[in-house]
Every structure is written in C-alpha cells, then in structure tokens.
Amino acid sequence: MSQLAYLVIREGTKWSDVFRLVPGQSVLVGRAPTNQIVIKDERCSRTHVEVFMSGGQWTVRDLDSRNGTVVGTDLIRGDYVLKPGDVIRIGHTQLVFVHKLSEAFNDGGSGVRRMAAEKGEKIAGEGDEASSVLAVGEPTTITHRRGQTKFLAPGEEQDSSVSRMGRAAAKLCKLAFELAKAPDPAALAEIALKGLAEGTQTDAGAVLLTPRGFIGEPRGGDLEIVAARSASEHQYHRVSNFLSSTVLREGEAVLARNVMGDSALGNRDSQGEILATSVLCAPIRRGQKKYGVIHLYSTSQELTPDPDDLEFTLAVADTVAVALENLQRRQELAENLTQVRTENVQLRERLGVQSEIVGRSPAIRQVTEAISRASVSNATLLIRGESGVGKELVARGVHYNSPRKDNVFVCLNCAALSTDLLASELFGHERGAFTGATDRKIGKFEAAHKGTLMLDEIGEMSPAIQAKFLRVLEGHPFERVGGNKPITCDVRVISATNRDLEKDVAEGRFRRDLFFRLRVLEIVVPPLRKRTDDIPLLAEYFLERFNNETGRKIQGITPEARAKLLSYQWPGNVRELKNVIERAVVLCRAAEIDEEDLLLTTLSTTGDSDVAGPGMVFAPTSLDDMERRHIVSTLKHTNWNKSKTASILGIERSTLDRKIRRYGLGDGENGEEG
C-alpha cells in the first residue's frame, strides 16, 4: 500500500487546507490549539480524533468526543480503518482521506493545486518537467502605467484605434450592467473575470479583495482570492505580495512584459516552473477606499497584452469598485432594515396592550407623577420594587414620555448572563475575541445610542463589570471585548432591582460609588398588596385581554372570586395576578370566573413579615392588638411564667407586668383574651 496519504480539509462550503500524513506520526484533530489540525467548531471536542498508521493501514480513532465522529454515513466509536476517498465529518468540517490529491476532487485535483504548492507538496502522478516553450531573453520591464482609463473619459478616442476602442466600450457597458446585478462579491468577481477573458489577451487571472470588515491600509498579503480562472494547463498562481502591495500603494495599474526571470512578479510556482510571460495588475479602488486588485497574466508568448488591454483592465477594475460599493450599501441597508423590523416586532410584542399603567389608587398615581417628572431629565434612574410589580413598564413609560421616545428602548436582564457574556452583551465583541465569536457583535450600549438602556436586576451585576460600567456612566469611552477602538455613546441608563442595594453596599457586594451614580433619580413601585384598589381594575383588564387572545367570552368575575382576589397577599404581584386570570380564562367552565377557578399559592410575601402565617388570610390590625396577642401567646407558651416570658420578649419583668395590666390580661386563670 502506498505510504503517501493526505487529509484534505473542507470547512463550510470551501476546501481550506491539505495535511500530509507521515507514517510513524500520529495526528490529533480537535478544537484545542495544541492539535496538529485545529477545527474551530463548537461541535468539535477539544481533542476529537486521532489519525495514525497501524499494521500498514491508516486508522482514525474517536477520542470519546462529545458529538461523535462520522465516516461516510457511519457514526464511529473507537477505531476505523480508512480507505481512499473516505470522508471524516466533524461538525461542519470534512476531512477527505486520499493517497493522491487528485482523488479528492471531481476536477482531477485542480481545487487544491494552489494549496499544495503553498505547502511545498508535489501532487502525486504529475510530471516534474518545466515548460520548455517559454524563452528567456529580454530583462523584465514595466512598459506602461496608467492612473485613469480613457475608456471611461468621454472625448479621448483616437482615430487609429476607433474600432477596437468601440468594441471595448461596448463590452464595458454590457459588463457594467451585469456587474450591477451581481448578488454577492463572488458572483461579481466571476462576471468581471469572464468579461476580462473576452476583452484582454490573457489566459489566467483572479480578483482578490480585502475581507469584509477589514480596517486599515490593505497590503498584498491581506487580500483573499474571491474568484480565479485559468485557460492553460496550469492552475491560477496567486499574484506576488510585492506586486499587489505596490499597485495598492501607488494606485496605478501595471503592465509588465518578459517577466519569465522575475520571481518578484510571481511568474514561477513553488517548483520553479515558469507560469507567466506578461502580467497585468490593476487596483480596485473608489476614491480613498481600496477594495483589492485584478491580476491577469498570459502563459504563452502567443498572447501578449498591450496598452489597450491595460486600459480595459483598469476600466473594469474601476467599474468593479463602483459595483462593490453599491453592493455593500445594499447589504448594509438590508441588514439595517432587518434590524429595524426585528426591533419593531420586539417592541410590539413587549408593549402589546401593556402600553398603559393600569390603576387609580393613590400609590399608582404617585408612580405616574414620578414618571412624568423623571421623563424630562437625562439623569440615571433607579427603579425599585419587588419582582413582578412592573418595573420595566415604568421604565418604558419614562422612555416614551421623554425626548428620546423616537429612538430605541433596549432592555437587558443582568441576572440572566454570566460575567463574560454580560460584558459581551453590554459592550459588544470583535470577531475572534473568544471561542464562538465568529462575527463582530454590537453591544447594548451601541444599540441604544440616542435612546434608553434599561438594566434589570442591576444588583446581580458582578464587581468586575460594575467597575467598567461605572466608567461608561461617567462618560468615558469603552471598547468592545477583544477590540481596541474607543467607542462613545449617548445613552440614558435606567436600572431596576428588587434587592436591598444599601445592604449589598454595606456588605461589599455592590460598589458604593456606582450605587450613588445610579440613584440620581429614584422611583419606588409599590407591591400589589399595598394598592388593593387596583386589583379589580387589573383583573378586568387581564380578563378582557385573554378573552381576545383565546376567543373565550367570559362575562366577568363573581363577587366571591373578587373577594378572594382582594383578600390575597399577592407575593408575585401584578405578574402573578396576570397568570392567575389567564389560567382562569382557559379553565373556566361557566360564564363567569368563580372562586374555584382561582389558583392561589401559600407563599409569603417579599419584604413583609408573615403576620397571618402561611395559608392564612391577612386581616388589618393595629400594633397594640398585635402586641397584645403576641404577649398572650408567649405567656401561654411558658404556662404563664412571667420571668421566662419577659426573657423571650426581651423586656424587663416590670415592663411585662405593666403591659399585662395595660391590656387587661389578668392572671393565668382568666387571661385568655382579656
């Protein structure tokens, strides 16, 4: 069996690399950077598989990976002997096992000749002799340079070349219309290469562009091959970094002839085989923006580009630049439109019929007045209240009554994310900042520019994020995770919490300076049990809402059910009332919601003492009555041992005697209730 073997790697939709297997050396494949073959895919384990030779046969072994390994259509666990043509699938990545690179592709291996040449590999079965039809004679000379093409400048035609220029202009006009319809850069590059093949005396070339999101001054090594062609027996050979960098820097198209002996222009492959006799290279630029280059060359002395070919190539390059700029604008508009539509849908879903605060109690009127006062300011606002009281609804009320109402309202729950994810959500991240960061992400601060950012459960924010968050609140710029570009945003911050922040500050869990910075303005939303007048209004509101949503026709709430709603403590506040009414609407069998349709809990309320005890109905009472009953209960517990009772109550014996006389408790024989 042949000892030569390769793994040809395919990531996503394109072949990306070739790895040569050497007998006696095992190869580890996985997500960790210490592997010989690194696969950046979350479905890939840190060390996923091992490929090694055993008994003269190449074998793949699954290393107890989390998602398993597929060879062909079989999910393997353990060892699997590889055969030429086997495809190993790990997540979205494919590794083709072959003994000859030509076996990996239907086109005879042309898809990886460039990759193999770059890695210094020789494709098995190919001849080693260099072409002998190319003559080496005159030294390399750059014969012409052009900064602007006369094909795009009216009135520059010459009588001696009217016919050819006319044909070139017609081709260019047709090509411009085709380029304008290209759906993406790859299709655009293919159209341009097709037009250049018909309009120039070259037989190979490519369009090389800067990656999307590239920032800075591009050089030759930064460019990616978007489309390539070759009409000769050789695969397209990439333009040298020297030539492409020179063209990008100087902004001039270059025609070079007799380049057989000049490696700086990229006329030879890795084996020294002559590839080009003449080279054309034109910058793709629009104003100061540089998108890349068009690289063309001829491999035969029968095809010799002339200055008119240089003119045509430069004209095509300028037209491609315009088409690329328009394409990027269309993509940005489409992305912005999608984002706006998504935000509108989210706003409609969140607002729905909750755009008004329901209630007429004095407590809710105070909240409404506080919203009105806070709306005219840009100061940070702290909204406090128990879970479920409607803090986000109050924040929305502040935003939509403020001068920022025409801009976005962004909400983020700090308790739902880990420290690292919260930093990414708040400030965004750059591509490659961490595992899984495949694209740049805009943070909530940037998304809320000119609008309002609400941070719910602010008390759950970790100390590490608190420090960075405080700097941003003070007006300092911030950077995306993994980035170094300072960003400044105009955002009003509204925070909300159900925690006792003063206690957290005293215990060192929350920064004192951040607490005072957040609490410039404060709105305290009362719990539902402290505004019982609003319970019937809210119940009717939710009843009508869920009638419309479910198609039911529940006519109302019985007096018994209404009394039960009023006597309940509502530990879950408005959110719990909403859920109780929703369940009642769904399960009610009569025309009205009755007492038995209400599913209430026995949980105690947050922040209040459980005066009535679990499951008991709360009855308003005075402090004197509460003290009297508590003293009686304690005396009964100690069998009227006054000394022991005073000790339990934490008062003096003489004080207990005075309270017994005050409340007329009598003695142990008749001291039940007076």
Banded pLDDT at 271 (limits 50, 70, 90): low
Residue 143 exposure: Cα atoms within 13 Å on the Cβ side: 18
Banded pLDDT at 124 (limits 50, 70, 90): very low
Banded pLDDT at 120 (limits 50, 70, 90): very low
- 3-state DSSP call for residue 631? helix
pLDDT digits (tens, 9 = 90+) for 576-591: 999 999 999 998 888 9
Residue 356: DSSP 8-state: S
Rounded to an integer, what distance in angstroms lies between the CA atom of residue 151 and that of residue 143?
Answer: 20
Rounded to an integer, what distance in angstroms lies between the CA atom of residue 334 and that of residue 646?
Answer: 76
pLDDT tops 50 at residue 672: no
Burial class of 5 by CB neighbour count within 10 A (0 to 12, 13 to 18, 19+):
buried
User: Closest Cα to residue 465, out of 430, 505, 418?
Assistant: 418
User: Closest Cα to residue 228, out of 175, 293, 131?
Assistant: 293
Buried b or exposed e, range 219-246, using 16+ CB within 10 angstroms:
ebebbebbbbbbebebbbbbbbeebbbb
pLDDT digits (tens, 9 = 90+) for 224-269: 898 999 887 788 888 888 888 888 888 888 888 877 656 556 655 5
Are 38 and 16 a contacting pair, CB within 8 Å? Answer: no
Are 453 and 412 a contacting pair, CB within 8 Å? Answer: yes
pLDDT attached to residue 671: 41
The percentage of the chain sitting over the pLDDT mark of 70, rounded to a whole number, equals 81
Rounded to an integer, what distance in angstroms lies between the CA atom of residue 55 and that of residue 502?
Answer: 71
pLDDT attached to residue 221: 84
Across all residues in the chain, what is the average pLDDT?
A: 81
Rounded to an integer, what distance in angstroms lies between the CA atom of residue 513 and that of residue 102?
Answer: 67
Average pLDDT over residues 9-21: 77
Residue 122: DSSP 8-state: -
pLDDT attached to residue 260: 65
- 3-state DSSP call for residue 665? coil
Tokens of 377: 């300011």
CA distance to 149, 158, 165, 196, per residue, from 154 (Å): 10, 11, 12, 21
pLDDT attached to residue 112: 44
Top pLDDT among 270 and 87 is at 87
pLDDT attached to residue 129: 32
Triad 560, 562, 566: Cα angle to 5°: 115
pLDDT tops 80 at residue 133: no
Tokens of 409: 């309202």
Beta bridge partners of 20: 6
pLDDT attached to residue 405: 87
For helices 391-400 and 362-375, angle between their N-to-C axes, nearest 10 degrees: 40
Range scoring the smallest mean pLDDT among 104-113, 148-157, 308-317? 104-113
Query: What is the separation of C-alpha 548 from the centre of its chain, rounded to a whole number of angstroms?
Result: 36
Average pLDDT over residues 137-158: 56
**How many residues appear in the chain?**
674
Residue 475: DSSP 8-state: T
**DSSP states of 418-445:** -HHHHHHHHH-B-TTSSTT--S-B--HH
Triad 525, 529, 531: Cα angle to 5°: 65
pLDDT attached to residue 158: 46
Instruction: Give CA torsion, residues 408, 414, 418, 419, to 10 deg.
Output: 90
pLDDT tops 50 at residue 218: yes
Rounded to an integer, what distance in angstroms lies between the CA atom of residue 18 and that of residue 118?
Answer: 10
Triad 193, 194, 197: Cα angle to 5°: 85
Rounded to an integer, what distance in angstroms lies between the CA atom of residue 674 and that of residue 664?
Answer: 5
Range scoring the smallest mean pLDDT among 262-276, 401-415, 488-502? 262-276
- 3-state DSSP call for residue 86? coil
pLDDT attached to residue 262: 62
pLDDT tops 60 at residue 111: no
Name the pairing type of β-strands 492-497 and 452-456.
parallel
Query: Tokens 């990414």 map to which residue?
Result: 424
Query: Tokens 């020297």 map to which residue?
Result: 242
Banded pLDDT at 125 (limits 50, 70, 90): very low
Rounded to an integer, what distance in angstroms lies between the CA atom of residue 37 and that of residue 35?
Answer: 5
pLDDT tops 90 at residue 497: yes
**What order of strands is seen across the sheet that includes strand 492-497?**
409-413, 452-456, 492-497, 381-384, 521-524
Are 192 and 175 a contacting pair, CB within 8 Å? Answer: yes
Average pLDDT over residues 258-287: 72
pLDDT tops 90 at residue 424: no
Which residues have a Cβ under 8 Å from the Cβ of 295 and sit 6 or more positions away? 205, 206, 207, 208, 238, 239, 243, 244, 279, 280, 281
Are 49 and 88 a contacting pair, CB within 8 Å? Answer: yes
Task: Based on DSSP, count helices (H) and strands (E) in the chain, helices before strands.
Answer: 18, 24
pLDDT attached to residue 52: 92
Query: Tokens 């801009």 map to which residue?
Result: 407
CA distance to 390, 413, 528, 581, per residue, from 576 (Å): 11, 19, 10, 9
pLDDT attached to residue 426: 85
Are 635 and 602 a contacting pair, CB within 8 Å? Answer: no
Rounded to an integer, what distance in angstroms lies between the CA atom of residue 113 and that of residue 119?
Answer: 10
Radius of gyration of the CA atoms of the chain, in A: 38
Average pLDDT over residues 515-531: 91
Are 242 and 220 a contacting pair, CB within 8 Å? Answer: yes
User: Closest Cα to residue 283, out of 257, 258, 319?
Assistant: 319
For 448-511, where are the alpha helices, taking DSSP H only?
A: 463-473, 501-506
pLDDT attached to residue 180: 84
pLDDT tops 70 at residue 3: no
Banded pLDDT at 42 (limits 50, 70, 90): confident
pLDDT digits (tens, 9 = 90+) for 425-436: 888 888 777 777
pLDDT tops 60 at residue 1: no
Q: Output phi, psi for 298, to 5 deg.
A: -115, 145
pLDDT attached to residue 434: 74
Top pLDDT among 402 and 262 is at 402
pLDDT digits (tens, 9 = 90+) for 603-652: 766 554 444 444 445 567 788 888 888 998 889 888 889 988 988 888 88
Average pLDDT over residues 274-303: 86
Which residues have a Cβ under 8 Å from the Cβ of 667 and sit 6 or more positions away? 640
pLDDT tops 70 at residue 406: yes
pLDDT tops 60 at residue 134: no
Banded pLDDT at 59 (limits 50, 70, 90): very high
- CA torsion sign, 15 to 17 to 23 to 27? negative
Banded pLDDT at 81 (limits 50, 70, 90): very high
User: Closest Cα to residue 521, out of 308, 375, 331?
Assistant: 375
Query: What is the separation of C-alpha 443 from the centre of its chain, rounded to a whole number of angstroms?
Result: 9
pLDDT tops 80 at residue 653: yes
Banded pLDDT at 479 (limits 50, 70, 90): confident
